[in-house]
Amino acid sequence: MSSHVAEARQRTLQFKAVVEGVGLHSGRPVRLTLLPAPVDSGILFTRTDLPHAVEIPARAEFVVDTTLNTTLGKDGVRIGTVEHLLSALYGFGVDNVRVELDGPEVPILDGSAFPFVQLLEKAGVREQKAPRKVAVVKKAVVVTDGDKEVRLTPASSFSVHCAIDFRHPLITDQKFNVEVSAKNFVREIARARTFGFAREVEYMRSRGLALGGSLDNAIVVDDFHILNPEGLRYPDEFVRHKILDAIGDLALVGVPVIGQLHARKTGHALNHKLVKKLLTEPGYIEYVVLGDVPVSRPAAQAEVALGVLEGTLVA
């Protein structure tokens, strides 16, 4: 084990980066800016379109809605659909960043985390002079809802096993496993897009949801076909996107997690219940500051070599 792994440091961005798009649910145009942030500040969202800035930390205690997305809120201010950006930040190994938005929702872009990965690559990542803290799972934590289940168990690295079954000809009994590293995240997970069913579009829009949805930012399926002309990016893109979402929701722990996540038919609501239980009930996790104690290489998976993405970004 090399010493720099055990002494893994926090990371932020080198430069600011900007992207514009529309909100999936609000349908409103929004400009998102990522900015470097000091050590121990975590991921901090703020709305720039309001008279008084309200800063909302990306932590589970600020989750106010989990209906078809994860929404953060504070003092009446809300920021929706944070999960894809948080997933990219987690997968890319960024600890501290300021996220500024001039609207109520993170732009959906192409419906995956890949545009955010490209944005982070453009901004660059730099180490900071502070050790990283991780949450090590000490005993299994489980939450269920009928036949849905998500659990987190002790392990020497962070990995996700997910299974879904929508009882649909195109989305039946899909499973995928991944050990989450920057390289694996970009290659196996980042490009998986959000998805929905054509028969549900009108109902969602009647509830003020999916107002910005289109074939440009979501996979849409009818009873037997994928309506997107280009088809799928992965043969099992649906379950991979569920993993993408789960990583983003788990990022709301506030620090990298060392454990194995098992998810069956899960969604944002159940993911949030797991994180809330993990954080509020004693005995499930132990916080470890890397560099303070010997840590095996898998347990220090939060380390992301700056060159690890070289050659892996594909259009």
Asked if residues 194 and 108 have their Cβ atoms less than 8 Å apart, the reply is: yes
Q: Report the pLDDT value the prediction gives residue 208, as an integer from 0 to 100.
A: 76
Cβ-based neighbour number of residue 225 at 10 Å: 11
The pLDDT of residue 314: 28
- Which segments of the chain are extended strands (E)? 9-13, 17-22, 29-36, 43-47, 55-57, 63-65, 71-74, 77-79, 97-101, 125-131, 133-137, 141-145, 148-153, 159-164, 174-179, 195-197, 219-221, 257-258, 260-264, 285-289
- Cα–Cα distance measured from residue 137 to residue 132, given in angstroms and rounded to the nearest whole number: 16
Q: Up-side HSE of residue 211: CA atoms within 13 Å toward CB?
A: 12
Active site residues per annotation = 268
Which pLDDT tens digits describe the chain residue by residue (315 residues)? 233 333 489 999 999 999 999 999 888 999 999 999 999 999 999 999 999 889 999 999 999 999 989 999 999 999 999 999 999 999 999 999 999 999 999 999 999 999 999 999 999 999 999 999 999 999 999 999 999 999 999 999 999 999 998 877 777 789 999 999 999 999 999 999 999 888 787 777 778 777 888 889 999 998 788 999 999 999 999 999 999 999 999 999 999 999 999 999 999 999 999 999 999 999 999 999 997 544 333 333 333 322 333 332 322
User: Are 143 and 151 in contact, with CB atoms under 8 Å apart?
Assistant: yes
Distance CA 43, CA 100 (A): 11
pLDDT, tens digit, for every residue of 2-56? 333 334 899 999 999 999 999 998 889 999 999 999 999 999 999 999 998 899 9
Structure confidence at residue 160 (pLDDT): 98
pLDDT at residue number 226:
92
Domains of the chain: 3-300 (3.30.1700.10)
pTM (2 decimals)? 0.88
Q: What is the pLDDT of residue 292?
A: 53
Residue 29 confidence (pLDDT): 95
